Amino acid sequence: MDAIRTEDIDHQRRQLLGTATVGIVAAGAISLLPSQLAAAPDDAIRPFRINVPEADLVDLRRRIAATRWPDQETVKDQSQGTPLARLQELVRYWGTDYDWRKIEARLNALPQFVTTIDGVDIHYIHVRSKHPNALPLIVTHGWPGSVIEQLKIIDPLTNPTAHRGQAEDAFDVVVPSLPGYGFSGKPTGTGWDPDRIARAWAEVMKRLGYTRYVAQGGDWGTPISSAMARQGAAGLLGIHINLPATVPPEVAAALAGGPLPTDLSDKERAVVEALMTSGKNGNLAYFTIMTARPQTVGYGATDSPAGLAAWVLVHPGFAQWRYGADHNQSPTRDDVLDNITLYWLTNTATSAARLYWENGARGSVIVAAAQRTAEISLPVAITVFPEDVYRPPETWARRAYRNLSYFNEVDKGGHFAAWEQPGLFSAELRAAFRPLRHTN
């Protein structure tokens, strides 16, 4: 960033704003950016602002009002998917009172940038701490998330003294949008799997001039952060993950229909049984259909706001979400709609689903062998949030990650930990990375 002078930023910003209307209407928010800035050097870092044309918001509200609903589910619980009445209430609010401009302003209040890596525009938020010696940190979201999941941890991490933290725990925070997600570009060819994204993230950190940094991720952010560690990205000191791939081979075999290992501890057995129950309850079907047919599942989610909202909410991470009925719950109704609206406005339902297809044959993100955790020698820190899709036992974590530098089970929070418990999540990152700050 230091290389870009103020007038360049202003000049480029004008260009971005000037083309935003055409760009978003015609082809998604990002598509005109590359040609727009074709003259810039390949590794240029371009400032980025969001300015969604009002017509797009009007069109969204019009589509919401015209929603054709299916009939009601035949059960009284969520076992067939998002119940009609709940979704109708959420979508009614979305189409009448929800205000995208608030989140747009919040995002635009943060320094955002786009840089082209490996042929795809990568969007990211980059907030530097005012504290010297802050540790650079790249935080990766997953599906069905976006950078919006991470907004609440940016200030606690960059400005810890305002959040009961210490200056020496400060981070410089980089929060990228995955390729195919949010304001990043959409790959037009294959190959953008977690390993390739990991290499792109290393390049982002390099372009930002960070020679010593750490990485964090949950959901898809875990395989990506883990791949960075496995690849030994230059300057990477260690990672923190909150959906670790700890399931050992004999348990993976049992989950696939094989015999249950006989030497499990009570705690391990409870985890296995919870995973089996979850599978039987159909919690993995969204995963397998996007792995197999992302394009097919994408059409309805791309054309129907209600279809998109329900598809986002199919993720088991939302099982305990109260649709805004609990005003103390994070994410709030607006938070969730911010994220869904971001998918809508950037038309990324299909491109985001494709990450599952790209992962493809590698299989489960929680199985140690599938994720090749044995090849990671860098320090790995894990926080287990109790309501996540599984609660990895420490015994498995120690087997999976030979350099487990931190393991802590906290008492609250779930799959979207940074979104749900930003204070606790930030405290975990401070504790997890403290020992790595002064390593070489």
Residue 132 burial (C-beta neighbours within 10 Å; 0-12, 13-18, 19+):
exposed
Cβ proximity to other proteins: between 211 and 281 the closer is: 281
Q: For residue 426, what are its two tokens?
A: 């930030």
Looking at 5-13, 44-52, 67-75, 116-124, which segment touches other proteins (CB under 8 A)?
67-75
Q: Indicate which single residue of 293, 322, 402, 438 sits in contact with other proteins (rule: CB under 8 A).
A: 293
Cβ proximity to other proteins: between 111 and 282 the closer is: 282
Q: Is 226 in the site for other proteins (CB under 8 A)?
A: no
Q: Is 41 in the site for other proteins (CB under 8 A)?
A: no
Q: Is 251 in the site for other proteins (CB under 8 A)?
A: no
> Could you give phi then psi for residue 217, rounded to 5 degrees?
-165, 150
Q: How far apart are the C-alpha atoms of 169 and 156, rounded to whole Å?
A: 10
- Kindly determine how many residues on this chain lie close enough to bind other proteins according to the rule CB under 8 A: 62
Looking at 73-81, 161-169, 195-203, 241-249, which segment touches other proteins (CB under 8 A)?
73-81
Q: Is 285 in the site for other proteins (CB under 8 A)?
A: yes
Q: Is 415 in the site for other proteins (CB under 8 A)?
A: no
Residue 34 burial (C-beta neighbours within 10 Å; 0-12, 13-18, 19+):
middle
Quote the crossing angle between the two packed helices 422-433 and 151-158, to the nearest 10°: 50
Q: How far apart are the C-alpha atoms of 193 and 196, rounded to whole Å?
A: 5
Q: Indicate which single residue of 146, 216, 246, 291 sits in contact with other proteins (rule: CB under 8 A).
A: 291
Beta strands in 209-266 (DSSP E): 213-217, 236-241
Binding mask 179-198 for other proteins (x = CB under 8 A): -------xxxxx--------
Closest of 248, 231, 242, 198 to residue 370, by C-alpha: 248
C-beta of 312: minimal distance to other proteins in Å?
10
Q: Is 127 in the site for other proteins (CB under 8 A)?
A: no
Q: Indicate which single residue of 7, 42, 71, 266 sits in contact with other proteins (rule: CB under 8 A).
A: 71
Q: Indicate which single residue of 297, 336, 366, 367 sits in contact with other proteins (rule: CB under 8 A).
A: 297
Q: Is 303 in the site for other proteins (CB under 8 A)?
A: yes
> ∠154-155-161 over CA atoms, to 5°?
140
223 residue type, one letter = P
Closest of 132, 125, 87, 128 to residue 107, by C-alpha: 125
Looking at 63-71, 138-146, 238-246, 413-421, which segment touches other proteins (CB under 8 A)?
63-71
Q: Is 307 helix (H, G, I), strand (E, B) or coil?
A: helix
Site of interaction with other proteins (CB under 8 A): 28, 63, 66-75, 80-84, 87, 186-190, 256-258, 281-286, 288-289, 291-304, 306-311, 313-314, 347, 349-351, 354, 357
